Structure 1
Amino acid sequence: MRFMMIVKATTDSEAGAKPSQELIEAMQKYNEELVKAGVLLAADGLQPSSSAIRISYPEPGGKPKVVDGPFTEAKEMIAGYTLIEVKSREEAVEWALRMPDPHGFGQGEIELRQVFEMEDITDNAEMLEKDAAIRKQAQEQNKA
Protein backbone atom coordinates (compact mmCIF):
# COMPACT_ATOMS: atom_id res chain seq x y z
CA MET A 1 0.00 0.00 0.00
CA ARG A 2 1.36 3.37 -0.97
CA PHE A 3 0.54 6.50 0.99
CA MET A 4 1.41 10.12 0.37
CA MET A 5 2.04 12.42 3.29
CA ILE A 6 1.10 15.79 1.87
CA VAL A 7 2.66 18.71 3.71
CA LYS A 8 0.32 21.69 3.57
CA ALA A 9 1.75 25.10 2.79
CA THR A 10 1.79 28.05 5.17
CA THR A 11 2.06 31.76 4.51
CA ASP A 12 5.79 31.44 5.28
CA SER A 13 6.37 28.57 2.84
CA GLU A 14 4.38 30.41 0.17
CA ALA A 15 6.60 33.46 0.82
CA GLY A 16 9.63 31.27 0.11
CA ALA A 17 10.94 31.18 3.69
CA LYS A 18 13.69 28.57 3.99
CA PRO A 19 13.51 25.93 6.74
CA SER A 20 15.86 26.26 9.69
CA GLN A 21 19.02 24.15 9.84
CA GLU A 22 17.48 22.34 12.81
CA LEU A 23 14.39 21.41 10.79
CA ILE A 24 16.50 20.28 7.81
CA GLU A 25 18.49 18.00 10.12
CA ALA A 26 15.31 16.62 11.74
CA MET A 27 13.78 15.88 8.32
CA GLN A 28 16.98 14.21 7.11
CA LYS A 29 17.01 12.02 10.22
CA TYR A 30 13.35 11.13 9.65
CA ASN A 31 14.01 10.29 5.97
CA GLU A 32 16.97 8.12 7.01
CA GLU A 33 14.62 6.19 9.34
CA LEU A 34 12.19 5.69 6.45
CA VAL A 35 15.03 4.41 4.25
CA LYS A 36 16.30 2.02 6.96
CA ALA A 37 12.75 0.66 7.32
CA GLY A 38 12.60 0.19 3.54
CA VAL A 39 9.41 2.22 3.10
CA LEU A 40 10.57 5.50 1.49
CA LEU A 41 9.74 5.93 -2.21
CA ALA A 42 10.19 9.72 -2.54
CA ALA A 43 10.34 12.88 -0.44
CA ASP A 44 10.62 16.46 -1.67
CA GLY A 45 9.74 20.01 -0.80
CA LEU A 46 8.00 22.15 -3.39
CA GLN A 47 8.73 25.71 -4.39
CA PRO A 48 6.03 28.33 -3.63
CA SER A 49 3.04 28.68 -5.93
CA SER A 50 4.52 31.95 -7.21
CA SER A 51 6.64 29.78 -9.50
CA ALA A 52 3.83 27.32 -10.26
CA ILE A 53 1.66 26.83 -13.31
CA ARG A 54 -1.93 25.63 -13.03
CA ILE A 55 -3.56 23.86 -15.97
CA SER A 56 -7.33 23.44 -15.88
CA TYR A 57 -9.90 21.98 -18.24
CA PRO A 58 -12.92 24.31 -18.03
CA GLU A 59 -14.91 22.54 -20.75
CA PRO A 60 -15.14 18.81 -21.52
CA GLY A 61 -13.05 18.18 -24.63
CA GLY A 62 -12.06 21.85 -24.66
CA LYS A 63 -8.66 23.48 -24.76
CA PRO A 64 -6.72 23.51 -21.45
CA LYS A 65 -6.37 26.85 -19.65
CA VAL A 66 -2.89 27.77 -18.35
CA VAL A 67 -2.52 30.18 -15.41
CA ASP A 68 0.74 31.26 -13.78
CA GLY A 69 0.98 31.46 -9.97
CA PRO A 70 0.94 32.70 -7.35
CA PHE A 71 -2.33 31.26 -6.15
CA THR A 72 -4.38 32.32 -3.15
CA GLU A 73 -5.28 30.40 0.01
CA ALA A 74 -1.94 29.08 1.28
CA LYS A 75 -3.73 26.45 3.38
CA GLU A 76 -4.99 24.84 0.15
CA MET A 77 -1.46 24.67 -1.28
CA ILE A 78 1.07 21.88 -0.94
CA ALA A 79 4.59 22.61 0.32
CA GLY A 80 6.00 19.10 0.01
CA TYR A 81 5.33 15.39 0.12
CA THR A 82 6.67 12.06 1.25
CA LEU A 83 5.64 8.90 -0.57
CA ILE A 84 5.90 5.63 1.38
CA GLU A 85 5.01 2.00 0.77
CA VAL A 86 3.80 0.18 3.87
CA LYS A 87 1.77 -2.89 4.84
CA SER A 88 -1.22 -1.11 6.37
CA ARG A 89 -3.05 2.15 6.94
CA GLU A 90 -2.05 1.96 10.61
CA GLU A 91 1.63 1.76 9.69
CA ALA A 92 1.21 4.81 7.43
CA VAL A 93 -0.38 6.75 10.29
CA GLU A 94 2.48 5.73 12.61
CA TRP A 95 5.05 7.06 10.13
CA ALA A 96 3.09 10.28 9.60
CA LEU A 97 2.94 10.86 13.35
CA ARG A 98 6.73 10.53 13.54
CA MET A 99 7.36 13.26 10.95
CA PRO A 100 8.76 16.43 12.53
CA ASP A 101 6.59 19.56 12.34
CA PRO A 102 7.21 20.23 8.63
CA HIS A 103 7.44 23.98 9.04
CA GLY A 104 8.99 24.07 12.50
CA PHE A 105 6.76 26.90 13.71
CA GLY A 106 3.80 24.93 15.08
CA GLN A 107 1.93 25.59 11.81
CA GLY A 108 2.59 22.21 10.23
CA GLU A 109 -0.23 20.14 8.80
CA ILE A 110 0.11 16.78 7.09
CA GLU A 111 -2.62 15.15 5.03
CA LEU A 112 -2.23 11.39 4.63
CA ARG A 113 -3.77 9.90 1.47
CA GLN A 114 -3.63 6.39 0.09
CA VAL A 115 -2.47 6.12 -3.51
CA PHE A 116 -4.68 4.21 -5.93
CA GLU A 117 -3.13 1.03 -7.24
CA MET A 118 -4.22 -0.03 -10.72
CA GLU A 119 -5.97 -3.05 -9.13
CA ASP A 120 -8.16 -0.58 -7.19
CA ILE A 121 -9.38 0.97 -10.45
CA THR A 122 -9.79 -1.96 -12.84
CA ASP A 123 -9.77 -5.73 -13.02
CA ASN A 124 -9.00 -5.68 -16.77
CA ALA A 125 -6.02 -8.05 -17.14
CA GLU A 126 -4.69 -6.26 -20.23
CA MET A 127 -4.69 -2.87 -18.47
CA LEU A 128 -3.03 -4.35 -15.37
CA GLU A 129 -0.33 -5.95 -17.51
CA LYS A 130 0.29 -2.71 -19.41
CA ASP A 131 0.51 -0.75 -16.15
CA ALA A 132 3.03 -3.22 -14.71
CA ALA A 133 5.16 -2.93 -17.88
CA ILE A 134 5.10 0.88 -17.75
CA ARG A 135 6.12 0.90 -14.07
CA LYS A 136 8.95 -1.56 -14.74
CA GLN A 137 10.21 0.57 -17.64
CA ALA A 138 10.09 3.72 -15.50
CA GLN A 139 12.05 2.01 -12.70
CA GLU A 140 14.70 0.85 -15.15
CA GLN A 141 15.05 4.38 -16.60
CA ASN A 142 15.36 5.86 -13.11
CA LYS A 143 18.18 3.46 -12.26
CA ALA A 144 20.16 4.44 -15.39
Structure 2
Amino acid sequence: MRWMLIMQVEPEAAARAAEELDMAQVIAAMGTYNEELQKAGVFLTAEGLSDASEGFRVDFSSQPPVVTDGPYAEAREIFTGFWILEVASREEAEHWARKCPLGPGTALEVRRVNEFADFESDEQDESVREWATKAQEWRAANA
Protein backbone atom coordinates (compact mmCIF):
# COMPACT_ATOMS: atom_id res chain seq x y z
CA MET A 1 0.00 0.00 0.00
CA ARG A 2 1.15 3.48 -0.78
CA TRP A 3 0.55 6.22 1.76
CA MET A 4 1.17 9.93 1.41
CA LEU A 5 2.38 11.95 4.37
CA ILE A 6 1.33 15.54 3.67
CA MET A 7 3.19 18.17 5.68
CA GLN A 8 1.03 21.09 6.74
CA VAL A 9 2.30 24.21 8.43
CA GLU A 10 0.33 26.78 10.40
CA PRO A 11 2.47 29.77 9.39
CA GLU A 12 2.30 31.86 12.57
CA ALA A 13 2.91 28.96 14.97
CA ALA A 14 5.72 27.59 12.79
CA ALA A 15 7.35 31.03 12.58
CA ARG A 16 7.33 31.35 16.38
CA ALA A 17 8.81 27.87 16.78
CA ALA A 18 11.46 28.54 14.10
CA GLU A 19 12.88 31.41 16.15
CA GLU A 20 14.27 28.83 18.56
CA LEU A 21 15.43 26.27 16.01
CA ASP A 22 18.88 25.61 14.63
CA MET A 23 18.17 25.09 10.92
CA ALA A 24 21.29 22.93 10.51
CA GLN A 25 19.87 20.56 13.15
CA VAL A 26 16.45 20.59 11.48
CA ILE A 27 17.96 19.69 8.09
CA ALA A 28 20.13 16.99 9.68
CA ALA A 29 17.13 15.47 11.50
CA MET A 30 15.08 15.42 8.30
CA GLY A 31 17.99 13.87 6.38
CA THR A 32 18.34 11.18 9.05
CA TYR A 33 14.60 10.48 8.86
CA ASN A 34 14.68 10.19 5.06
CA GLU A 35 17.72 7.92 5.26
CA GLU A 36 15.91 5.69 7.80
CA LEU A 37 12.90 5.45 5.46
CA GLN A 38 15.20 4.44 2.60
CA LYS A 39 17.05 1.83 4.67
CA ALA A 40 13.69 0.35 5.73
CA GLY A 41 12.73 0.05 2.05
CA VAL A 42 9.53 2.12 2.41
CA PHE A 43 10.67 5.41 0.82
CA LEU A 44 9.32 6.09 -2.67
CA THR A 45 9.69 9.87 -2.92
CA ALA A 46 9.62 13.10 -0.97
CA GLU A 47 9.49 16.72 -2.07
CA GLY A 48 9.40 20.09 -0.44
CA LEU A 49 7.39 22.88 -1.99
CA SER A 50 8.35 26.49 -2.65
CA ASP A 51 6.67 29.33 -0.82
CA ALA A 52 2.94 29.74 -1.52
CA SER A 53 3.64 33.20 -2.96
CA GLU A 54 5.13 31.45 -6.02
CA GLY A 55 2.04 29.30 -6.54
CA PHE A 56 -1.57 29.78 -7.51
CA ARG A 57 -4.91 28.20 -6.82
CA VAL A 58 -7.53 27.16 -9.38
CA ASP A 59 -11.11 27.29 -8.09
CA PHE A 60 -13.57 25.24 -10.11
CA SER A 61 -16.68 26.69 -8.43
CA SER A 62 -17.40 28.70 -11.58
CA GLN A 63 -16.82 28.50 -15.31
CA PRO A 64 -14.28 29.38 -16.40
CA PRO A 65 -12.28 28.36 -13.32
CA VAL A 66 -10.84 31.27 -11.34
CA VAL A 67 -7.06 31.44 -10.86
CA THR A 68 -5.77 33.23 -7.75
CA ASP A 69 -2.09 33.88 -7.13
CA GLY A 70 -0.62 32.83 -3.78
CA PRO A 71 -0.19 33.29 -0.96
CA TYR A 72 -3.65 32.31 0.16
CA ALA A 73 -4.73 34.61 2.95
CA GLU A 74 -7.74 32.44 3.82
CA ALA A 75 -5.58 29.35 4.34
CA ARG A 76 -5.07 28.46 7.98
CA GLU A 77 -2.57 25.73 7.09
CA ILE A 78 -0.24 25.55 4.11
CA PHE A 79 0.77 22.32 2.37
CA THR A 80 4.60 22.48 2.33
CA GLY A 81 5.82 19.06 1.27
CA PHE A 82 5.14 15.35 1.18
CA TRP A 83 6.51 11.83 1.33
CA ILE A 84 5.11 8.79 -0.43
CA LEU A 85 5.80 5.52 1.34
CA GLU A 86 5.18 1.92 0.33
CA VAL A 87 4.18 0.04 3.48
CA ALA A 88 2.20 -3.07 4.35
CA SER A 89 -0.49 -1.46 6.49
CA ARG A 90 -2.09 1.66 7.92
CA GLU A 91 -0.33 0.88 11.19
CA GLU A 92 3.08 0.92 9.50
CA ALA A 93 2.24 4.25 7.84
CA GLU A 94 1.32 5.60 11.27
CA HIS A 95 4.60 4.28 12.70
CA TRP A 96 6.64 6.23 10.15
CA ALA A 97 4.46 9.34 10.41
CA ARG A 98 4.98 9.45 14.19
CA LYS A 99 8.76 9.30 13.68
CA CYS A 100 8.84 12.35 11.40
CA PRO A 101 10.95 15.07 13.06
CA LEU A 102 8.44 17.90 12.89
CA GLY A 103 7.69 20.38 15.64
CA PRO A 104 5.16 22.94 16.81
CA GLY A 105 3.11 24.56 14.08
CA THR A 106 3.35 21.53 11.79
CA ALA A 107 1.21 18.45 11.25
CA LEU A 108 1.06 15.49 8.91
CA GLU A 109 -2.09 14.40 7.16
CA VAL A 110 -1.66 10.76 6.16
CA ARG A 111 -3.74 9.39 3.32
CA ARG A 112 -3.69 6.11 1.41
CA VAL A 113 -2.88 6.56 -2.27
CA ASN A 114 -5.43 4.81 -4.49
CA GLU A 115 -4.15 1.79 -6.32
CA PHE A 116 -5.27 0.58 -9.74
CA ALA A 117 -7.03 -2.32 -8.04
CA ASP A 118 -9.36 0.22 -6.42
CA PHE A 119 -10.80 0.87 -9.88
CA GLU A 120 -11.07 -2.72 -11.10
CA SER A 121 -14.19 -3.59 -9.14
CA ASP A 122 -17.23 -4.96 -10.94
CA GLU A 123 -19.10 -2.04 -9.38
CA GLN A 124 -17.00 0.47 -11.34
CA ASP A 125 -18.21 1.86 -14.64
CA GLU A 126 -16.36 0.47 -17.68
CA SER A 127 -15.03 3.96 -18.54
CA VAL A 128 -13.49 4.22 -15.05
CA ARG A 129 -11.70 0.90 -15.55
CA GLU A 130 -10.59 2.03 -19.03
CA TRP A 131 -8.99 5.21 -17.68
CA ALA A 132 -7.39 3.33 -14.80
CA THR A 133 -5.81 0.95 -17.34
CA LYS A 134 -4.51 3.91 -19.36
CA ALA A 135 -3.07 5.51 -16.22
CA GLN A 136 -1.32 2.24 -15.41
CA GLU A 137 0.18 2.19 -18.92
CA TRP A 138 1.33 5.81 -18.55
CA ARG A 139 3.01 5.03 -15.25
CA ALA A 140 4.80 2.00 -16.75
CA ALA A 141 5.95 4.06 -19.75
CA ASN A 142 7.42 6.75 -17.48
CA ALA A 143 9.05 4.43 -14.94
TM-score, normalised on structure 2?
0.80
- Quote the residue 1:107 is aligned against: 105
Could you tell me whether the CA contact under 8 Å between 2:9 and 2:105 is conserved in 1?
no
Aligned residues: 132
Change (3 A) 1:133 1:68: same
The one-letter code of the counterpart of 1:88 is S
The one-letter code of the counterpart of 2:105 is Q
1:6-42, CA deviations, whole angstroms, 9 ceiling, x for partnerless residues?
111231668xx79711010110111011111111111
- Rounded to whole Å, the distance in 2 between the matches of 1:138 and 1:64 is 30
- 1:39 equivalenced with 2:65 (yes/no): no
The one-letter code of the counterpart of 2:108 is I
1:22-80, CA deviations, whole angstroms, 9 ceiling, x for partnerless residues?
01011011101111111111112112211111112123xx3222110110245332111
Select between 22-31 and 122-131 the one with higher mean Cα deviation: 122-131
Percent identity between matched residues is 39
Select between 41-50 and 4-13 the one with higher mean Cα deviation: 4-13
- Rounded to whole Å, the distance in 2 between the matches of 1:19 and 1:46 is 20
- Quote the residue 2:85 is aligned against: 84
- 1:75 equivalenced with 2:76 (yes/no): yes
Select between 114-123 and 76-85 the one with higher mean Cα deviation: 114-123
- Rounded to whole Å, the distance in 2 between the matches of 1:119 and 1:71 is 36
Could you tell me whether the CA contact under 8 Å between 2:4 and 2:110 is conserved in 1?
yes
Please show how residues 1-144 of structure 1 align to structure 2 within 5 Å: 1-11=1-11, 20-59=23-62, 62-101=63-102, 104=103, 106-123=104-121, 124=126, 126-139=130-143
1:110-137, CA deviations, whole angstroms, 9 ceiling, x for partnerless residues?
1111111122234355444323211111
Q: CA-atom RMSD, angstroms? A: 2.3
1:55-111, CA deviations, whole angstroms, 9 ceiling, x for partnerless residues?
12123xx3222110110245332111111111100000000011101xx4x222111
- Rounded to whole Å, the distance in 2 between the matches of 1:73 and 1:79 is 16
Unaligned runs of 5+ in 2: none
Could you tell me whether the CA contact under 8 Å between 1:9 and 1:74 is conserved in 2?
no
The alpha-carbon deviation at position 138 of structure 1 amounts to 1.8
- Quote the residue 1:142 is aligned against: none
TM-score, normalised on structure 1?
0.79
The one-letter code of the counterpart of 1:44 is E
The one-letter code of the counterpart of 1:5 is L
